[in-house]
Copies of this chain bind each other. A is one copy, B any other.
Amino acid sequence: MSVTAASGFAAAGVVAGLKASGRRDLALVRNLGPLNAAAAVFTTNRCKANPVLWSQQVMQDGVVSAIVLNSGGANCYTGSQGFQVTHATAEAVATELGVSAGDVLVCSTGLIGEQLPLDKLVAGVTTAANALARDAGLGAAEAIMTTDTRAKEAQFRSPNGWTVGGMAKGAGMLAPGLATMLVVVTTDAVLTSGRLDAALRRATRVTFDRLDSDGCMSTNDTVALLASGASGVEPGDEEFALALTAVCRDLAEQLQADAEGASHDIAIEVVNAASEDDAVVVGRAVSRSNLFKAAIFGNDPNWGRVLAAVGTTDAEFDPYGIDVAINGVQVCTSGEPDQPRDLVDLTPRAVHVLIDLHAGDETATILTNDLTHDYVHENSAYAS
């Protein structure tokens, strides 16, 4: 159910003919109300795709009636022609659904620098509008996949009568600056756009923002949160933020688990940092070390590569007072070898790297993946 788990939403995933594979490539999600409040966060990449430029304008008033998403092309660096395609897509949705084009979010994903065929998009919108259904959440989640190998869905049902559900896509270019890839989360809770915005920023800061699969920030990242109010229940800020964060974390972990070519899911937990920012900076530096990531692929607990990455940061720590444990084995204490690295078992897919900075009491965990032959293969051959 995912994006249609909450009441007040219908979705569709159809074949518009944008993907050479002939698979579903256009998704539509409609908010049936009674509310149409929304919040969204976008990539912080300065090179933003046309749908991001459009959707930022749509979000000005916090009102969203529908969101249309396509795979098969990012519509980024396609100039004014590309912006016209985005605008015309929103207009097509508006016409089909009888809403304002200014209340239609647009998201695109795929290759940068190629024009999308407007005729196929418009025809696809008509097909999707006619296919809108309460049980079509999975089809919509499938329609936004690119190199993803499986659809990503998550939901949370509150005992108080409201629900949060969502879908996501993302496989490469997976290092969000604010949001990651395309994510749509819906709820039937009664909330204003201002409260949705606060909850969404709180949730993405500790979920999608801490996923750094390959260090490459997309031009199209969008996370949209739509509220229908159909449950008639108004949750408290705290309970809603916790539910939303749980759904976002679930989706972020699904993105990590399906990252292009990865054979390990690595959690880099930095503890006893002087600040949360320091913990994030240190974790991110390790997550971006190709040497560390290649070592994990080779099941090599090369903790020297962890510390070499930590040492490039300006976080507060004594370079010779750091401890490192990998999958529960303390391989380095105060910057000196401790337990033999042979004791570390890296055969499971899940890897836990614990870095103790001994500089305070803040913590953060960055999620990343290893650097594999399959990653190189997919990203040297991928052009669709």
Contacts and interface: CB of A to CB of B under 8 A. Distances in A.
Interface stretch (A9-17, A190-198, A202-210, A376-384): A376-384
B74 A298 contact: no
Interface stretch (A28-36, A64-72, A300-308): A300-308
A206 to B, nearest CB: 21
Contact of A376 (B78, B112, B371): B371
A325 to B, nearest CB: 14
A215 interface: yes
Nearest to A294: B379
Contacts of A217: 308, 311-312
Interface size class of A (residues with CB under 8 A): 35 or more
Given A297-B380, A383-B300, A319 B214 contact: no
Interface stretch (A44-52, A86-94, A181-189, A228-236): A44-52
A156 interface: no
A143 interface: no
A68 to B, nearest CB: 22
A118 interface: no
Contacts of A309: 216
Report copies per complex. 2
B304 A111 contact: yes
7 contacts: A45-B308, A77-B332, A77-B336, A79-B320, A79-B335, A113-B341, A298-B379
Contact of A377 (B45, B336, B373): B373
Interface of A: 45-48, 74, 76-79, 111-115, 172-173, 177, 214-219, 288-291, 294-295, 297-298, 300, 302-305, 307-313, 319-320, 331-332, 334-337, 341, 371-373, 375-377, 379-381, 383
A215 B305 contact: no
Contact of A380 (B177, B289, B300, B337): B300
User: Is the contact region of chain A dominated by helix, strand, or loop, or is it mixed?
Assistant: loop
A290 B77 contact: no
A113, A302, A319, A320 interface centre (most CB from chain B within 10 Å): A113
A216, A371, A375 interface centre (most CB from chain B within 10 Å): A216
A262 to B, nearest CB: 12
A214 B376 CA distance: 14
Contact of A291 (B114, B172, B302, B341): B172
A290 B215 contact: yes
Contacts of A304: 74, 76-77, 111-113, 219
